[in-house]
Amino acid sequence: MKQVVKAQQIDQSHQYKRLTLIVTAIFVGAFLLVQSLPAHARGVPAEGFADIVEKLLPSVVTIQAIQEVQAPAQGQIPDLNLPEGTPYGDLFEFFRKRGEQNPEPRQKTAAGSGFIIDEDGIVVTNNHVVKDAKEVFVVLEDGRRFKAKVLGADSGADLAVLKVDAEGEKLPTVEFGDSDKARIGDWVIAIGNPWGLGGTVTTGIVSARGRDIDSQSFVDFIQTDAPINQGNSGGPLFNLDGKVIGINTAIYSRTGGSIGLGFAIPSNQAKNVVKQLQEFGTTRRGWLGVSIQSVTDEIAEGLGLDEVKGALISKVHPKSPAAAAGIHDGDIVLRFNDESVLNSTHLRRMVAAAGVGVKVPLEVWREGKMVGLVVALGEREKVDMAALSGQVEKAGEVEKVKIQAVELLGLELSPLTGLSRQKYELQDDINGVVITGVMPGSDAAAKQLASGMVIVKVNQQEVSEPSDVIKLAEAARDEGRGSILLWVNHNGQFSFIPVKLPKE
């Protein structure tokens, strides 16, 4: 199963158990192609990459994030989902519950990469490398280790800025380059800490630009075939001038290892975020105050648009900059700040990048004609986005459904998302509701239902949300039925499993 995953920090306590080194001899004919390149194109350095790498290595660091995680107390008996009637089952359950009452926190060290941009100890890395860390340390190429302070972090661009006290020593630095000048086919060098090995150099080319791998991100990624692996997160992607044109962040992989599809945050998108994190500890992004969706063929045809482009305003939030500017529900934003709007994600990123308090011209398609407006953007970070989007209410509803599912069926349920598919290794063609937990002693446990199984149908009806399962279970109980019939997919095998319903 293909997944876009963070090329993220790894647990050093397990890294060498997980690591398998495969050495493959490859005959490379790239040098034959260099001779035919145009004069302005840059080929492989005649002397190789050693000289430039030697200068860059001291500025690339390893990030160690100490995280505290809850762990079962020593000697705790795990949830074995024992069938009814198991000898000494009550005794197992007694000790299991006793262990749950005394969970002991433990620490784990996760590792990522970073690079120094200021000789006084300013380090750039990914937000997901240091997120939720109790302590953060920076390890230099020569092995020296310094405690670091997180000056600021931003999940929207997945960037964090650290400060280390090098005890008066001026540290080696690298500079940001111009990522807009990076062309598809240009050579790049990645340096980082893959699998916790530290100081590892890989090379490749810019494979593509402007990749949209995460609609919730504010970044259009650079794609590279330079091998990027877990632990490379936060490390620099250099051009042949030794300038940072990207921050390695994610990989597209079936296994978590590199298959030549790595993604980096472009330096020109990172510079402003890094500057704001240094100055304010947070970002300051523009905010329009609307809910948007992309324009489809049907929408374009229905509204008389010649091209399928722009962002459709599905809702204007009250007292927002958009409301003040006269933007209406149903408007299609075609131009923003004198640039064409491709889709909803494009508009979202354009607004965020425009800044706070800036007056921006925009053009909308309304009732068959273009309308010009000017909007003064607000500050996204000062807005309760969850409340505006209804996520607070949704979270409460999800918790309610979870409790109902446990009470009715003895099951914890979750919709199938990218994360749940990755966690339980579920193929993209599997649909339904995934089981994430089973209550000990329940009929579901007795029927050997387990986490990772997918409920496809309930009483012959397809389900896609936990609420679907609850509604069908409650309907069956109201009709006086004593059980429901689940059609379950487990490792590609389908089976019908009846589960008893509690009496009201």
Spell out the alpha helix ranges (H) of 72-217: 89-100, 127-130
- In the chain, the amino acid numbered 394 is K
Q: What are phi and psi of 144, to 5 degrees?
A: -70, 145
Cβ pair 206, 186 in contact under 8 A: yes
Active site includes 158?
A: yes
- Catalytic entry in 59, 113, 154, 158: 158
In angstroms, the first-to-last Cα distance of the chain is 43
Q: What number of other Cβ atoms are within 10 A of residue 78's Cβ?
A: 9
Between the alpha carbon of residue 372 and those of residues 38, 138, 366, 431, the distances in Å are 45, 51, 10, 45
The DSSP letter of residue 401 is H
Query: Rounded CA gap, 190 and 203, in Å?
Result: 6
Consecutive H or E run containing 36 = none
Cβ pair 470, 405 in contact under 8 A: yes
Active site includes 132?
A: no
Q: What are phi and psi of 376, to 5 degrees?
A: -95, 110
- Catalytic entry in 233, 294, 414, 442: 233
Closest CA to 303 of 334, 339, 325, 335: 334
**DSSP bridge partners of 67:** 108
Hey, what are 361's tokens?
């011209």
Cα angle 184-185-190, degrees, rounded to a multiple of 5: 95
Task: Decide: residue 215, CB within 10 A, 0-12 exposed, 13-18 middle, 19+ buried.
Answer: exposed
Cβ pair 271, 177 in contact under 8 A: no
- Catalytic entry in 128, 267, 331, 414: 128
Query: Rounded CA gap, 101 and 301, in Å?
Result: 61
Cβ pair 182, 220 in contact under 8 A: no
Task: Decide: residue 355, CB within 10 A, 0-12 exposed, 13-18 middle, 19+ buried.
Answer: middle
Consecutive H or E run containing 210 = strand 200-211
3-state secondary structure of 352: helix
Residue reference for tokens 């500890």: 281
Cβ pair 212, 347 in contact under 8 A: no
Task: Decide: residue 173, CB within 10 A, 0-12 exposed, 13-18 middle, 19+ buried.
Answer: middle
Active site residues: 128, 158, 233
